[in-house]
């Protein structure tokens, strides 16, 4: 594209230079010599050459690589992770592997242009005049059977009939407005059904809702009612154990991971707001009771047992505002971490910060202990973070 623009620009200049209108200006106001005019073959030849180069550049891409990907699958039954039916989407990345891949093939490149709208559902959650600027709709809905589960920027949880678009239930946790909150969004909820219960009953299937006022709420997936057996009457308070507690400086915008009988969650902190920010601790709760099982704080990475009452997590430690992936067979959860706040300030960073900032950390699902760490940006001064959910896959060499 750059070569084409350059050639085209030079061609236009050359064409202008050989026009009689321009050539007359070269002798304007000067006596005309009594000589036979001559043609500038060098100039005209250069213009012709430039035109040829421009046309050639338009018709050819020097960076183009022709070829075709193999059409036959390498393996007949690839591993997508988990046991999600082909027509369902049970987690943020569809399965614990976070591949965001659907094996369905009913819609393809031949018929996608003929799709017609089946239904429309309006959540009713509108941006308010006193909302923070970054009030955004970023949800990935879940599909479980014939129901869609989603959340809205103001942390409403909604269940919709996947066939008709009719609302089944809506839960509003009553999030108070807060101008100190940097983000007002919800990327998704977490679905979980107790495998040890064969019959359906109250809260045997649950939807876990993270809220922008630092709560984690368990809801009955069938009715939207709060499950009182989880946490404190249905709620886990994520500000517990934080070194500071200014409202709006810590909350979870992403859904927790349900794996190995645990609900594992990180949280977002406000970028560049303060040198006294909340901790980026990762916590695992019993998925049925809400009891804290382990906590991994990158500022104190060896102590993963639940901290005792009166102790707090490390302030300003790198946090995980995105979505994690899990492999229950390997027994690990893969956590994308952000940077320490203030993000562009490189001073006052200890060894733990320099090790875990802007990295992917593999933690034991059982204990929360670090298994390995892969840092993507060393001494990050640009707030690069690791923003995407890690995608797990099995590589077959051929």
DSSP 3-state of 345: coil
Each as own residue / partner, the long-range contacts of residues 169-176 (CB below 8 Å, 24 or more positions apart, any chain) are 169/223, 169/224, 170/224, 171/209, 171/217, 171/219, 171/224, 171/226, 173/209, 173/211, 173/213, 173/215, 173/217, 175/211, 175/212, 175/213, 176/213
* Dist CA 331 CA 59 (whole Å): 54
Distance (Å, whole) CA 177 – CA 74: 52
* Integer Rg of the chain from CA: 30
Q: Which residues are catalytic?
A: 383
Q: Got the DSSP string for 227-258?
A: -TTTTBTTEEETTTT-S---TTSEE--SPPEE
């Amino acid at each position: 594209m750059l070569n084409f623009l350059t050639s085209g620009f030079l061609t236009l200049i050359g064409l202008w230079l050989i026009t009689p209108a321009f050539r007359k200006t070269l002798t304007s106001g000067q006596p005309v010599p009594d000589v036979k005019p001559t043609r500038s073959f060098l100039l005209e030849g250069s213009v012709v050459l430039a035109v040829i180069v421009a046309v050639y550049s338009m018709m050819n891409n020097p960076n183009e690589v022709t070829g075709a990907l193999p059409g036959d699958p390498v393996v007949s039954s690839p591993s997508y992770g988990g046991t999600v039916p082909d027509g369902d989407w049970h987690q943020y990345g569809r399965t614990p592997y976070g591949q965001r891949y659907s094996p369905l093939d009913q819609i393809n490149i031949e018929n996608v242009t003929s799709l017609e709208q089946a239904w429309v559902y309006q959540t009713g959650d509108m941006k308010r005049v006193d909302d923070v600027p970054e009030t955004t709709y970023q949800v990935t809905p879940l599909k479980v059977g014939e129901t869609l589960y989603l959340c809205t920027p103001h942390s409403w949880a909604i269940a919709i009939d996947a066939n008709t678009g009719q609302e089944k239930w809506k839960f509003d946790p009553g999030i108070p407005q807060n101008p100190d909150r940097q983000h007002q969004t919800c990327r998704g909820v977490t679905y979980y059904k107790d495998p040890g219960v064969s019959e359906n009953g109250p809260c045997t299937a649950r939807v876990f809702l993270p809220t922008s006022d630092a709560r984690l709420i368990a809801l009955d997936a069938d009715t939207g009612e709060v499950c009182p057996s989880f946490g404190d009457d249905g709620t886990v308070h994520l500000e517990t154990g934080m070194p500071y507690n200014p409202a709006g400086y810590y909350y979870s915008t992403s859904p927790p991971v349900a794996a190995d009988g645990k609900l594992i969650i990180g949280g977002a902190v406000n970028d560049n707001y303060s040198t006294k920010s909340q901790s980026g601790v990762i916590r695992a709760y019993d998925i049925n009771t809400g009891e804290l099982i382990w906590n991994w704080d990158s500022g104190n990475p060896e102590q993963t047992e639940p901290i005792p009452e009166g102790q707090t997590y490390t302030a300003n430690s790198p946090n995980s505002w995105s979505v994690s992936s899990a492999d229950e067979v390997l027994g690990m959860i893969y956590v994308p971490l952000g940077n320490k706040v203030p993000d562009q300030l490189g001073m006052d960073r200890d060894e733990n910060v320099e090790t875990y900032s802007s990295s992917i950390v593999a933690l034991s699902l059982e204990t929360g202990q670090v298994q390995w760490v892969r840092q993507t940006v060393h001494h990050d001064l640009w707030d690069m973070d690791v923003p995407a959910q890690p995608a797990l896959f099995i590589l077959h060499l051929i």
